[in-house]
Amino acid sequence: MNKYGVKILGTGSFMPPKVLTNADLEKMVQTSDEWITTRTGIKERRIADEKTATSDLAIEAAKKALEEAKLKPEDIDMIIVATVTPDMSFPSTACFVQKGLGASRAAAFDLAAACSGFIYGISIAKNFIENGTYKHILLIGAETLSKITDWQDRNTCVLFGDGAGAMVLARTEGPSSLLSVYLGADGNYDKLLILPGGGSRNPVSKETMDNRLHFIKMAGKEVFKVAVTKMAEAAEKALEAAGKTPADLDLIIPHQANLRIIEAIAKRMDYPLEKVYVNLHKYGNVSAATTIVALDEARKEGRVKEGSLLELVAFGGGFTWGAAVIQL
């Protein structure tokens, strides 16, 4: 039996203002609005300017979540930033966020689970709060994928975007909003979605640069198939752990990578598409930020409210996957 429950006190999101449309991409690579729309559902994405790093977006999203939570930065005990586009290898992006907010009491670290990072973060926050270690955790998903996108590769550059979302989770004596979290991973799929250069395996060199190893590489078709299977499986496992069925859910918020993936998951779960949240037409795939940005927008649009039962489900490089059942 857990000592405490977890309440979501606030959410916030921040998307950089610059919009890159499919028409803009038509001028950059051999593609078309028609191809991108029918294959992915994406119409436009947001792009951070040259001077903007991931922590800059994260800080803006965090400020909004803190304001809604009616907390000061000093009230935060821990900051977790899920990202695959940290400002630097170190210090962590979470440390830059801590400094930017003035969250002087907070421990801070980054979490690398690619597009599933926010769900992994929910699991960590849940455990730290439920076992009584911390009262207030700021969990952020933030990315500037435009900085690791190969703008000459039409297979990938149409898919990704930049943005950040944040959530403030707090200890409660009442029942927990986080009913269950399910996580999974399989490193055997490492090569299908990968940024090979810049780490200790292939340190930055002229050769890594010439071979464009500092950009995302993806085998789209293969990723697609596993994404559908694993997200549907994760959604079902988390529901089972929460003692719920798909029919109980008010909304599913899936990772926003491709509308066809989302449709395939809904079909597999025999779940109505009208109760699935989609915003990828505006933002594309923003990796660790997608589910929290979508949850924030769903809350602000009134698609979910106090008492609503929803499920977040994500899939990403690694491969990693996960799902969380939440009663707001």
Ligand X SMILES: CC(C)(COP(=O)(O)OP(=O)(O)OC[C@H]1O[C@@H](n2cnc3c(N)ncnc32)[C@H](O)[C@@H]1OP(=O)(O)O)[C@@H](O)C(=O)NCCC(=O)NCCS
**Residue nearest ligand X, CB atom distance:** 220
Q: Which stretch in 43-51, 216-224, 229-237, 269-277 sits in contact with ligand X by CB under 6 A?
A: 216-224
How many alpha carbons lie under 13 Å from residue 264 in its C-beta half-sphere?
Answer: 18
| Least spacing, CB of residue 260 vs ligand X, in Å | 7
Tokens (6 digits) for 46? 């947001």
Instruction: Rule CB under 6 A: say whether 154 interacts with ligand X.
Output: yes
- Catalytic (active site) residue 214: no
Which residues between 284 and 323 bind ligand X (CB under 6 A)? 285, 315-316
Nearer to ligand X, 93 or 287 (CB): 287
Tokens (6 digits) for 272? 């109505």
Where helices occur in 80-219 by DSSP H, the ranges are: 93-101, 117-130, 154-157, 206-210
Nearer to ligand X, 109 or 224 (CB): 224
The DSSP call for residue 277 is: -
Report the SS3 class of residue 46.
Answer: strand
- Catalytic (active site) residue 155: no
Instruction: Rule CB under 6 A: say whether 35 interacts with ligand X.
Output: yes
Nearer to ligand X, 35 or 109 (CB): 35
The DSSP line for 176-198 is -SEEEEEEEE-GGGGGGEE--SS
Q: How many residues make contact with ligand X (CB under 6 A)?
A: 21
Nearer to ligand X, 12 or 317 (CB): 317
Among 166, 257, 295, 325, binds ligand X (CB under 6 A): 257
Instruction: Rule CB under 6 A: say whether 31 interacts with ligand X.
Output: yes
Nearer to ligand X, 88 or 219 (CB): 219
| Least spacing, CB of residue 159 vs ligand X, in Å | 6
- Catalytic residue from among 22, 115, 136, 157: 115
Residue 294 to residues 58, 109, 129, 275: CA-CA distances in angstroms? 15, 23, 24, 13
Report the SS3 class of residue 149.
Answer: coil
Q: From CA 316, how far away is CA 254, in angstroms rounded?
A: 12
Instruction: Rule CB under 6 A: say whether 258 interacts with ligand X.
Output: yes
Place of tokens 């996108």: 149
What's the distance, CA 179 to chain centroid?
19
- Catalytic (active site) residue 157: no
Instruction: Rule CB under 6 A: say whether 227 interacts with ligand X.
Output: yes
Site string for ligand X, 39-68 (x = CB under 6 A): xx----------------------------
Task: Label residue 138 exposed, middle or buried (CB < 10 Å: 0-12, 13-18, 19+).
Answer: buried
**Rg of the chain's alpha carbons, rounded to an integer?**
19
| Least spacing, CB of residue 84 vs ligand X, in Å | 10
Nearest to 110 by CA among 128, 92, 134: 92
Nearest to 321 by CA among 250, 242, 249, 254: 254
Nearer to ligand X, 73 or 284 (CB): 284
- Catalytic residue from among 22, 136, 157, 285: 285
Tell me which residues are annotated as active site. 115, 255, 285
Residues near ligand X (CB under 6 A): 31, 35-36, 39-40, 115, 154-155, 158, 218, 220-221, 223-224, 227, 257-258, 261, 285, 315-316
